[in-house]
Homo-oligomer: A and B are copies of this chain.
Amino acid sequence: MRGFLIALMLVVAFMAGGMTCGTTQAIAGDHPEKDPAHVLTPEEFEATRQVYFDRCAGCHGVLRKGATGPNLTPEKMIPKGNKKLRDMLWYGTAKGMPGWGKMGVMTAEETDLMVKYMYNEPPVPPQWDMTAIKDSWKLIIPPKKRPSKPEHNRDVDNFFGVVLRDAGQVCIIDGDTKEVISTVDSGYAVHILRMSASGRYCYSIGRDGKATMIDMWMKKPETVAEVRCSLDARSIDVSKFKGYEDKYAVVGGYWPPQIIVLDGNTLEPIKLVSTLSYTYDTEEFHPEPRVASIVASHTAPEWVLNIKETGQIWLYDYSDVSNPSIKMFEAERFLHDGGWDASKRYFLVAANARNKISIIDVVDRKFIANVDTKGTKPHPGRGANWVDPEFGPVWATGHIGDDVISIIGTDPEGHPENAFKMVAKVQALSSGNLFIKTHPKSKWVWVDHPVSKKEKNRTTLGVFDKANIKAGIFKTVKVADYGKAVHMEYNKAGDEIWVSIWGNLGDADKGKAGEIVVIDDATMKIKTRIPNLLTPTGKFNVYNTVRDLY
């Protein structure tokens, strides 16, 4: 009998933005007309809600209304029935759903509970607005108590920030000596790091929305400030335009769907902007338009924010940060990750569920094109730029769902015939690619395959020759005998490429933690390994990240 009142409270609380996490449990045991076989205890509901948040929400959304993956609301799930749902969860699907059971990520019991969870309404997540954000803000070391110059003789520009995903930590590695000089706690499962424009600070953003900043001038770099910006987030960047160096940081919220602007020196929250609006094409209201990647412009005081579900690219002018001007481009739905062309004029971003690359011109402030990559689920990271002898300046992406690299011309003045068109589609070693990487000083383009269906490809990198990209793979480099090789980054000099080996001590990783493998870029030989890192993931070299060299 209490169900109605509780549910109404949820409605009201959602509208009021005042609900706390705890109320999600109230839904669980109190669903009078549900098939008894679908009822979860409050404890089961909460545990499964967490598994859903960790494994499923990224593709399907916290509201389960679908994004990269399909809609999972009860009216869609109930007709499928137990067996089909369980099989999809356990074995995955041909369309790209991972086999969570088969991969050893979800237990049999968790899988059974997730089937039941699919029959239940998604709990309405709470708001998280300025009061909560401010309450979470911790200025651990105020600016005036920080060093006035570096306390070490290391080259900060060749530091790497490395995400230790399952440890909930970030470590700082000296790229010259390969020493781990500091390991600090971060948000949960950090998704990305960025460096301040001066190169002094390293910012992280956790999946739990917690942002942290590390001062790399300290003898042992430490976290100097933290703030929980949202309950779920994926992106952070800084103000890079001349005159705004180290002034602001910006976080993109997944839930609540919002933009959070922070003071770049303290992480003090300054401004909140909601991304709630309408899908660009059908103009339906979307309750969860998540902020995917963010990049800072080099040519204006602006951030490029990619609003996934509504398919809009926003340019946020931070020159008057609390009174922003926001240019909203209609682009394509399910915008995910992307980066600059070499000139920093064109921004290219994958609309991954639509197999498109959306391109804007930030100088003329124009949408340019949605380019079909002729592959399934492009996932460029920030992509790779080089000058092709035939096509001129190009940018490339690999794919999660196809074994192809798609190459797009980016030079409308010198090579108008190729500009913003697919100029080549090159055979890769495997599907299951996540990142592609090069450096202006390198002859090569490196491609990983950590989610390849074939185990051996997961630890093999494909190397392509910029001088002859159409010839296909120039060489393959096997970098580990366990885990997955994921995400490459160059050192400052551009003569070493670092790749993470994703190990998390589990059976699938032969009981090993992960490591970073350092490869000599010229010879493609392994130079050294930096061992004992728990699921090292993204690595960000200060010099290259500040300058967006890729």
A contact set with B: CB distance below 8 Å? 1-8, 10-12, 14-17, 30-33, 63, 65, 73, 121, 124, 127, 129-131, 256, 258, 271-274, 276-278, 282-285, 287, 315, 322-330, 365, 367
> Contacts A325-B326, A328-B324 known; A32 to B1 CB distance under 8 Å?
yes
Q: How many copies does the complex hold?
A: 2
Question: Is the pair A325, B327 in contact by a Cβ cutoff of 8 Å?
Answer: yes
A278 with B284, Cβ < 8 A, contacts A33-B5, A65-B16 known: no
- CB-contact partner of A14 in B5, B11, B274, under 8 A: B11
Minimum CB distance partner of A31 in chain B? B4
Interface CB pairs A-B, < 8 A, 18: A4-B32, A7-B7, A7-B8, A11-B121, A15-B65, A15-B287, A16-B65, A17-B285, A129-B278, A129-B283, A130-B278, A271-B283, A274-B274, A276-B277, A323-B328, A324-B328, A325-B325, A325-B326
Residues of B within 8 A of A7 (CB): 3-4, 7-8, 10-11
Q: Which residue of B lies closest to A273 (CB)?
A: B277
Q: Which residues from B are CB-within-8-Å of A5? A: 3, 33
- Which B residues lie within 8 Å of A287 (CB)? 15-17
Interchain CB contact under 8 A, B272 and A2: no
Q: Which residues of B contact A329 (CB under 8 A)?
A: 323
Residue of B nearest to A75 (CB): B12
Q: How many angstroms from the CA of A205 to the CA of B475 in the assembled complex?
A: 67
For A33, the chain B residues whose CB sits under 8 A away are 1-2, 4-5
Contact of A283 with B278 at beta-carbon distance under 8 Å, contacts A4-B6, A73-B12 already known: no
By beta carbon, the residue of chain B nearest A12 is: B121
Contacts of A10 in B (CB 8 A): 7, 11
- Kindly list 12 other residue pairs between chains A and B, CB separation below 8 angstroms, not including A4-B33, A10-B11, A15-B287: A1-B1, A1-B33, A4-B30, A4-B31, A11-B121, A17-B284, A17-B287, A323-B329, A324-B327, A324-B328, A325-B327, A326-B328
CB-CB under 8 A for A285 and B277, given A10-B11, A11-B10: no
A326 to B326, Cβ gap below 8 A? yes
CB distance from A311 to the nearest CB of B (A): 12
Tell which of B12, B256, B284, B325 touches A285, judged by Cβ atoms closer than 8 Å. B256
| Chain B residues within an 8 Å CB radius of A31 | 4
Chain B residue, CB-CB nearest to A322 = B330
A272-B278, A274-B278, A323-B329 known; A63 vs B124 contact (CB < 8 Å): no
Task: List, in ascending order, chain B residues with CB within 8 A of A325's CB.
Answer: 315, 325-328, 365
Provide the residues of chain B in CB contact with A63, threshold 8 Å.
15
Known A4-B3, A11-B121, A33-B5: A272·B276 in contact at CB below 8 Å = no
User: In the complex, what residue of chain B is closest to A5 when comparing beta carbons?
Assistant: B33
Q: Which residue of B lies closest to A278 (CB)?
A: B272
Residue of B nearest to A6 (CB): B4
Residues of chain B contacted by A6 (CB below 8 angstroms): 4
Measured between beta carbons, the chain B residues less than 8 angstroms from A124 are 11, 15
- A351 → chain B closest CB, angstroms: 16
Q: Closest Cβ of chain B: how far from A312's Cβ, in Å?
A: 9
Complex Cα distance, B325 from A124, in Å, reads: 32
